[in-house]
Structure 1
Amino acid sequence: MAGIEHVISVEELLPRKGNDVRTEDVEVQVIEKDSPRQQWLDELEKAGDEADQKTGPKIQKVPFLLRDHKDVAKYFEPRVVSLGPIHHGKPKYRKAEKYKLVLANKFVKESGKAESLYAQIEKKISKLKDYFNEEVTAKKYDDEKLAGMLFVDGCAVLQFIYYHEAEEKFKDKKIKNDQVAFWKHDLFLLENQLPYQLLEDLMELSEKKETLQDSMDRFIENHANCKDPKMTSSTEKPAHLLDRLRTRLLFLGDEEKKRNNKSSTENIEGDWQSYRNVQELRAAGIQLSPSTTNSLADVSFSDKSINVYPGYLYLPQITVDDSMGPKLLNLVAYEMCPDFDNDFGITSYICFVDSLIDHPEDVKELRKGKILHNLLGSDKEVSQLFNEIATDLVPNPEIYADVKKQIQKCYSSKWKTWIAQCYNDHFSSPWTIVGFLAAFLALALTILQTWYSVRGSPSDSKDRSSPAPRIPKRY
């Protein structure tokens, strides 16, 4: 009938089984159960169902956009130890298996509940298996093998974290310092993660439960380089260690949130950005200052109109060493996982810092402002690191948007820039002040000398104004 539309259902789109049926307008063909066409249709239906499911982020491989990048692919491979199923069994990690067994054995003995520990993991293996992406577990490991692997790895990780504050305990187990350093590196790789639920289950059954939890808290605080270890990062249960580290790095207290909200400027229009790096900001008189916390979200700008400087950019203090690149890139890889709904906080921070660093001189200014502590080597290496890890990253445009607009507004204010430049050139250090005063004194003396040469000295004018002496006549 005219005016009436026929709505086609999903069932009508899919072929029906049975004999060929030919009608006037529709031809339905027989499809074999295991035919390529039926498999394709089943995968299509499965993909739709998975997209509709609201699940948390699962442990999976690094997204191919990062994995295929030749400059950063090295940051995702474990150095000495494999944890979980993704790299398990690779020949180059066999040596570390011995250390894992030593640590796991010590954990089991100190827990006092050897049999119940493994029984608990074996009992929950179906649930623990759901924390992994299906492609990394289903095709390689049955439940029994996966349970044994997770049990050893989980016990070893908890014992390692428990030992990390006492190096002599590693020496007792003949684990050298270089091995300890690489273990710390490997614990925060996306492909090396264990479900946090596994670690909680093992801690819960241990007789030293509270000690293990305290060790875990201090371990995360240490790697987040936090100023205040008493701050609580989140009430939500993390997916794994990398997730907990990310939450801690981006955590802001209520006071910091209020301060950053006050620093935002809602009426600033436009998104034009004409400044390029730290050197240009400093040339415009904008100063760098450390934030009150080390949260990577604690970035703010203050326009102090009554001050000599036009504004202050507050940035969290960071330490750049050999572990920073892998740590940040794996956090970025985690944020890029398709099943992880997030605001791309780490990615946005990296892109923001990269926008401030173009040359080694920019790194030098960050060091002078006590923002960046360089343990990597030269400033050129730090500049190359940020330029490298920020390649092809897409930040959240809303994060730092107000800060960027405030910087641009201050940067575009010419009279403030001129005042700041004058101050930097002539009053930034005792030597520039002495030089300025010497130049000013020389200029003043030159002006006085010129004036005297034109008008004459006061004594000369006095002589000209007084009457000439009378000479007595002689008779």
Structure 2
Amino acid sequence: MEPLHIISIEEHHSIEAGEGSSSHDQPAATATAKMERIEMLKQAGARPGAVEAAKIQKVIFLLRDHDHFVKYFEPRVASIGPIHHGKTKYELGEKYKLRLAYQFVQGLSCNNGDSLDDDINHLYKKIMKEIKKLRECFEEEVTKKYDDETLAWMLFVDGCAILQYIFCATNYKKFEELSIKNDSVAFAQQDLFLLENQVPYRLLNLLMCSSRKEDELRKSIESFIQNVTSQQMKPIEKREPTHLLDLLRTTLLGPPLSCPRRKRRPKDDPDWQSYRNVQELKLAGIQLKQSKHRSLRNVSFTRQFNFYPGYLSLPPITVDDSTGPKFMNLIAYEMCLDFKNDFGISSYISFLDSLIDEANDVKDLRKAHILHNLLGSDQEVADLFNAIGTDLVPSTEAYEDVKFQIQDYYDNDWMTWMAQFFHNHFSSPWTILAFLGVLLGLALTATQTWYAVDSPPSPCDDFCKLKLP
């Protein structure tokens, strides 16, 4: 006979706690899980949809598997904000940030005659006072591991460093005084416009208001963005920028254009856009022109005398090593799920990618002074736009009128025949001379024939009629 098993006190407590597999515990656990799921559903429904000011967050999961994720989305020399803070490879960048922040603090005007320590404490307290609102500018996931004091000090250093860097960038000799080399300056500029490297513009405003150089700092931001975009900053939107990347986007796009609505093609025609690149447009007689304004929305199509040839006007753009990261982060910003926008950058890149397939397309854009190539070969530029233009979902309304006008022109056989005629006979000085030579030969032949057939009588004719003895 087997001995009886006596349940110990510990075993009894473990069963009561749910460690055992009692049938009485299962309904309770199921009910708890059910209530948790219901609560999650209610919370999701209570959250607002997309808004104009998106929270600072990580790059969306759809882009995290990109072949060049590190190259396009991770900082090169310095981490800014909480997402990449504390990583070992940015230790040198932290030293540069502290150096820049120290220079900024010297421009504070908290109380004249106060020590530097007092100025730092005064500004730090101002940030601590606003820390709740500043934390709300970030997604909860990226700040939850930092307490208020740690986050406030991080934002204090990063905000001061950003403003001092921009001030030095518009007064370039200032970097020499700080012993910061040109390569670090260039890479830091690229880091300022990464989605995961942003701080709230609200923070920058708070810091600028605390400096006796407030006006100079604000003007330096305007000059800095103007140098990056080659555009004049204009008050486009009434709202304050979310961060520097947001300010870059609104400056590049410019204000929305009001264009007259034209006749549309049937929406059930899936193949309405049949042209493929610049070379095909060129064969149809469409020429490239530089737009008068640099806004990326400023794309238009016109016809000479409303007939022939057609002109596609595009804003000028400079392509260099920073172009890929800059546009990829702007695209990632537009893809943030909580950001309500018109996908202006994505639509522009998609449209430009539709025009560029090969090196010859880039060459023609260069010759028209639309594209300034500082990257390398024309093929490298073509590869770049083909890469960043992959898997984009542009706005269906962006450049819609221009696309329809181009297609209507492209579908007209007369335009194609005229383009081929001018290409065959006027594409080079030699073909022009040959064509003029043929016309001259035909004119001489016609003149000779006319004189032979219909020439007036002359004394020579009467002499020829005389009969010799």
> TM-score normalised to the size of structure 1?
0.84
Q: Is the 8 A contact 1:56 1:340 kept in 2?
A: yes
Within the candidate set 45, 50, 64, 1:48 is matched to 45
Name the CA distance, whole Å, in 2 between partners of 1:396 and 1:430. Answer: 44
Question: 1:38: how far off?
Answer: 4.5
Assess if the C-alpha contact under 8 Å between 1:294 and 1:317 holds in 2.
Answer: yes
* Distance in 2 (alpha carbons) for counterparts of 1:417 and 1:245: 40
Distance 1:251 1:273 in 2: 27
1:124 alignment partner AA: E
Cα 1:465/1:420, change in 2 over 3 Å: farther
- Per the TM alignment, residue 411 of structure 1 is displaced from its structure 2 partner at its CA by 1.0
Give me the whole-angstrom Cα distance separating, in 2, the residues matched to 1:442 and 1:69.
63
- 1:130 and 1:287 mapped to 2: Cα distance? 50
2:236 aligned with 1:233, yes or no?
Answer: yes
Contact persistence 1:189–1:327 (CA under 8 A) = yes
Query: Match for 2:190: what amino acid?
Result: H
Secondary structure in 2 aligned to 1:330? helix
Q: CA RMSD in A?
A: 2.9
Q: Which amino acid aligns with 1:241?
A: L
Q: Would you say 1:332 and 2:354 are equivalent positions?
A: no
SS at 2:47 equivalent: helix
SS at match of 2:97: helix
CA contact (8 A) 1:71 1:388 kept: no
Per the TM alignment, residue 360 of structure 1 is displaced from its structure 2 partner at its CA by 0.6
2:328 is equivalent to residue 322 of structure 1 = no
Distance 1:54 1:363, change over 3 A: closer
1:61 to 1:465, Cα distance in 2 relative to 1, 3 A: farther
Q: 2:75: which partner in 1? A: 78
- Residue type of the alignment partner of 2:300: S
The residue identity in structure 2 corresponding to 1:325 is G
1:247 to 2:250 alignment: yes
Distance 1:55 1:82 in 2: 25
Q: Structure 1 stretch 412-421 or stretch 128-137: which is displaced more?
A: 412-421
Residue 396 of structure 2 aligns with which residue? 397
Deviations 1:425-456, CA, capped at 9 Å, x for gaps: 3335544432321233345557778x69x989
2:87 is aligned to 90
2:122 maps to a residue whose letter is S
Amino acid at match of 2:149: E
Letter in structure 2 aligned against 1:117:
L
Work out whether residues 289 and 313 of structure 2, in 8 Å CA contact, stay in contact via their aligned partners in 1.
Answer: yes
Q: Are 2:424 and 1:425 equivalent residues in the alignment?
A: yes
Contact 1:268–1:406 at 8 Å: present in 2 too? no
Secondary structure at 1:111 match in 2: coil
Q: In the TM superposition, what is the alpha-carbon distance from 1:160 to its structure 2 partner? A: 0.3
Alignment counterpart, residue 221 of structure 1, candidates 226, 236, 240? 226
Alpha-carbon shift at residue 56 of structure 1 (Å): 3.1
| 199, 212, 215: which one aligns with 2:217 | 212
Q: Cα–Cα, structure 1 residues 182 and 444, in superposed 2: closer, same or farther, change >3 Å?
A: same
State the distance in 2 between where 1:70 and 1:64 align: 13
Distance in 1, matches of 2:381 and 2:463, equals: 75
Percent identity, aligned pairs only? 53
Counterpart AA for 2:387: E
2: CA distance, partners of 1:135 / 1:91:
21
Check 1:53–1:353 CA distance in 2 against 1; reply closer, same or farther (3 A cut): closer
Shift, 1:376, TM fit: 0.5
Separation in 1 of the partners of 2:243 and 2:71? 22
Identify if the C-alpha distance between structure 1 residues 438 and 71 changes in structure 2 by more than 3 Å, giving closer, same or farther: farther
State how 1:352-391 maps to structure 2 within 5 Å: 352-391=351-390
- Cα 1:305–1:447 shift into 2, 3 Å: same
* 1:176-217 Cα distance to aligned partner (Å, 9 max, x none): 000000000000000000001000111111111111111111
Match for 2:136 among 126, 130, 144? 130
How far off is 1:166 after superposition? Answer: 2.1
For residue 238 of structure 1, what is the amino acid of its counterpart? P
Structure-2 residue corresponding to 1:156: 161
Distance 2:250 2:308 in 1: 37
Name whichever of 424-433 and 216-225 sits farther off.
424-433
- CA distance 1:44–1:373, shift in 2 (3 Å): same
- Asked if 2 retains the 8 angstrom alpha-carbon contact of 1:31 and 1:38, the reply is no
Mapped contact 1:348–1:394 kept (Cα < 8 A): yes
Instruction: Check the 8 A contact 1:67/1:73 in 2, yes or no.
Output: no
Aligned residue number for residue 266 of structure 1: 263
Between the aligned partners of 2:51 and 2:179, the Cα distance in structure 1 is: 45
1:170-189 aligned at under 5 Å gives the runs 170-189=175-194
- 1:375 partner amino acid: L
* Counterpart among 100, 105, 108 of residue 102 in structure 2: 105
> Where do 5+ consecutive residues of structure 1 fail to align?
1-27
Deviations 1:54-93 (A, max 9, x none): 6830000001111112145520010010000000001100
Displacement after TM superposition at 1:368 (Å): 1.1
Offset at 1:424? 3.7
- Say whether the 8 Å CA contact 1:61–1:86 is kept in structure 2: yes
Q: 1:355 to 1:95 in 2, by over 3 A?
A: same
Q: Which residue of 1 aligns with 2:197?
A: 192
Distance 2:338 2:241 in 1: 14
- Distance, in Å, in 2 between the alignment partners of 1:52 and 1:314 is 37
CA distance in 1, matches of 2:462, 2:422: 47
SS state of the match for residue 30, structure 1?
Answer: helix
Alignment partners' CA distance in 1, 2:58 and 2:264: 43
Runs of 4+ in 1 over 6 A off after TM superposition: 446-449, 454-459, 462-465
Q: Give the TM-score normalised by structure 2.
A: 0.85
Cα–Cα, structure 1 residues 31 and 295, in superposed 2: closer, same or farther, change >3 Å? same
Structure 1 residues 424, 72: closer, same or farther in 2, change over 3 A?
A: farther
Partner deviation per Cα, 1:286-341 (whole Å, 9 max, x = no partner): 111111211111111113345641x2111111000110110000000000000000
AA aligned opposite 2:140:
E
**Distance in structure 1 (CA, Å) of the matches to 2:91 and 2:409:** 57
